[in-house]
Structure 1
Amino acid sequence: MIRYEAELFAKVLEDILCKVNVVGIDSYTKKIKDLLKLGTTEVRTVGIYGKAGMGKTTLAKVVYKQICDRFEGSSFLSDIEEISKQPDGLVRLQKHLLRDILKMENLKIDNILGGINLIKESLRGKKVLVVLDKVNHMKQLHALAGNSEWLGPGSRTLATTRDEPLLTRLGVHGKFQAEELNYWESFQLFNWYAFGMVDAREGYLEVSIRAVEHAGGVPLALKALGSFLRGRSIDVWKRVLEYLEKKSSQGDPENTWAELASFDSRYGKEI
């Protein structure tokens, strides 16, 4: 479920970027680039952390696309946590890293140590950008970009994780926390999916405010609720919100998309 939520949110936020700057992503990416200090020759590592569904991967992708042309080579390694669980997963990631940067196919790496040595030999003199997406263990970091001495002057590494202490152990130069949206950002995002615009439709302001208060600042919940309610009558909105508010008051987990599925199944004919 966590992986599904994160992937779905990434699609949500990327969709918004193509249509309207609802959530002020430019301010977030600017903060990350400030932490990277792109104008210096030091080798620098920055981490993006936060709970699932907050858009860590999407932020990393946006920053990567904005700055990758400043480097001699670059690589974005996705889903490291999942891939590293697979047989020879870390070796495959090492090959991916080197293929991206060196533009070479058929690289021969027999084991993780061999990959580490090849990365050191190949990248030591190059200014490179490496993004390590969804890391959850030090061995992943050590196998892919474990030491600043592996990379040439001006290189940058950007890592995303749910585990802030992992970044501390790695000794990153800066951290950015991907957080929930503020109320105004949440309101705009919800309206975008409920009405196709950033303002509430006439007659729906009160119920829109109730919906945003229920979903909180979690982008995925706002998207799920707004999409579910889109095109439905105000009476249906009120019934849905009463149902969700009742579930919350009973102390049930605030899993909005599961609650909506339950509601739709129970009252589908009425809706």
Structure 2
Amino acid sequence: GMGGFGKTTLADAVFHRHSSKFEVCCFLANVRENSEQTNGLHQLRNKLVGEILKQKEVNIDTPSIPPHIQDRLRRTKALIVLDDVNARKQLEDLVGDHDRFCQGSRIIITARDKGLLEQKVDPAKIFSVEGLGPEEALELFHSHAFGNKSPTTDYTELSREVVDYIKGLPLALKV
């Protein structure tokens, strides 16, 4: 879904909650933005491989991952988050096929375009993040605007108008 619905926040929470169950973890934030930099996708892949193999300097300058590195990736149970992916090439370069990583590894991908994920991921494993309902949105707005869950009566109607205008978008409610 569109930006601001909480996809990254949710992925971050899952990442931190389950990271202890894996040998290594890697959270690649802002894949879309970082890929647009010079050699950005190349640097992201090197960072991902380096974190999984626990090596500071990894420089794979070939389109495919060398067999000796691939073998090590397949032996390491990893939790990987790719945040804000917007191109199939990013998925192919960063996670490749299902056999690139050890069995039991988990890859969480956030994307605005569900169709992009459907090309690579079993549709049963794709979750859509929805906006907040009116009461949840009001509660979140109050906690950020007033430091608690309910404003003084002077601001009740204004709060409802703000929440209605924002249509349950969590990021807008926080700002």
TM-score, structure 1 normalization: 0.60
Q: 1:78 aligns with which of 22, 26, 29?
A: 29
Q: Secondary structure of the residue that 1:171 maps to in structure 2? A: coil
Residue 142 (structure 1) aligned with residue 114 (structure 2): no
Q: 2:8 corresponds to which residue? A: 57
Question: CA, structure 1 residues 79+119, in 2 after alignment: closer, same or farther (shift >3 Å)?
Answer: farther
Q: Secondary structure of the residue that 1:165 maps to in structure 2? A: helix
Could you tell me how far 1:116 is from its partner in structure 2? Answer: 6.5
Could you tell me how far 1:118 is from its partner in structure 2? Answer: 6.0
Q: Secondary structure of the residue that 1:129 maps to in structure 2? A: strand
Identity in percent: 39
What is the distance in 2 between the residues matched to 1:66 and 1:145?
Answer: 22
What is the distance in 1 between the residues matched to 2:142 and 2:106?
Answer: 37
Give the structure with higher Rg (CA): 1
Q: 2:138 aligns with which of 187, 206, 210?
A: 187
Indicate if the aligned counterparts of 2:25 and 2:78 stay in contact, CA closer than 8 A. Answer: yes
What is the distance in 2 between the residues matched to 1:118 and 1:183?
Answer: 53
What is the distance in 1 between the residues matched to 2:165 and 2:59?
Answer: 53
Q: 2:60 corresponds to which residue? A: 109
Please, what is the CA RMSD of the aligned residues? 1.8
CA deviation digits over 1:213-243, x for unaligned, max 9? 222211233234xxxxxxxxxxxxxxxxxxx
Amino acid at match of 2:170: P
Could you tell me how far 1:138 is from its partner in structure 2? Answer: 1.0
How many residue pairs are counted as aligned between the two chains? 174
Larger CA deviation: 203-212 vs 152-161: 203-212
Could you tell me how far 1:117 is from its partner in structure 2? Answer: 5.0
Q: 2:155 corresponds to which residue? A: 204
Residue 164 (structure 1) aligned with residue 114 (structure 2): yes
Q: 1:96 corresponds to which residue? A: 47
Q: 1:235 corresponds to which residue? A: none
Residue 223 (structure 1) aligned with residue 174 (structure 2): yes
Could you tell me how far 1:102 is from its partner in structure 2? Answer: 1.4
Residue 128 (structure 1) aligned with residue 78 (structure 2): yes
TM-score, structure 2 normalization: 0.90
Could you tell me how far 1:208 is from its partner in structure 2? Answer: 2.2
Could you tell me how far 1:119 is from its partner in structure 2? Answer: 5.1
Larger CA deviation: 83-92 vs 175-184: 83-92
Indicate if the aligned counterparts of 1:116 and 1:143 stay in contact, CA closer than 8 A. Answer: no
Indicate if the aligned counterparts of 2:24 and 2:51 stay in contact, CA closer than 8 A. Answer: yes
Amino acid at match of 2:77: K
Task: Mark the runs of 5 or more structure 1 residues left unpaired by the alignment.
Answer: 1-49, 225-271
After superposing on structure 2, the runs of 4+ consecutive aligned residues of structure 1 that deviate more than 4 Å are 116-119
